[in-house]
Structure 1
Amino acid sequence: MPDMSASVSLAMTHLVPLAKEVDENKVTPGVLGFIVFAVMALAVWALMKSMNKHMSRVDFKEPETGSAKAGSAKAEAASEPSADKG
C-alpha cells in the first residue's frame, strides 16, 4: 500500500494557500447551493403539477348532514301521495 502521508502533505501545501485567500467574513452558498436550490424548486413544481392533475380527477358527492337528511325526507314525504286517500 502506498504511503498516504506524502500525498496528504503535498495536497495540504497546495490547498492551504488557497484557503488563506478566502475572506473569512464572507460566506456564500456558491454554485452547489444554487444547484441544490434549483433542483428542490423543480421538484416542488413537479409535485404541485402532479397534485393538481390528481385533484382534478377527484369526483365525489358530499355526504348529507343530519339536518339536510331531515329536510329532504320531509320534502319527499310531502310530495308523495298518501296511500290511504285512494
Structure 2
Amino acid sequence: MSEIHLAPLLLIHVPAGHEIDPQALEDLKAHASAQYGASVLINPRQTPLASSRPVILGHWGHTLPAQVMADLEPRIERVFFNLDWLADVI
C-alpha cells in the first residue's frame, strides 16, 4: 500500500488582541507557496488559546519542522500587530 502525502499547510492562530497586516500575510503566503508548496490558513480566535504557536501540517518534503519554523517565524511575526500602546498615548 502506498503512502499518501497531504499537502503542506501552515495553521496560524491570531493572538488575542492582535490585528492582521494584509500585506505581511500576502508575503507570508507567497513565500510559503513558493518555497514549500504550502498553503496558509488563519484561525481568528475570539478567545485566547493556551498556545498560539503556529502549526505545520501535511508533508513538507525533506525539510524538518524546526527548519520550516525557523524560516517562517520572522514572516509570521510581521503578520500580527497590536494597538494596545495607543491607549497609553491618548
TM-score (norm 2): 0.25
TM-score (norm 1): 0.26
Radius of gyration: which is bigger?
Answer: 1
- Structure with larger RCO (C-alpha < 8 A, sep 6+): 2
Structure with the larger helix share: 1
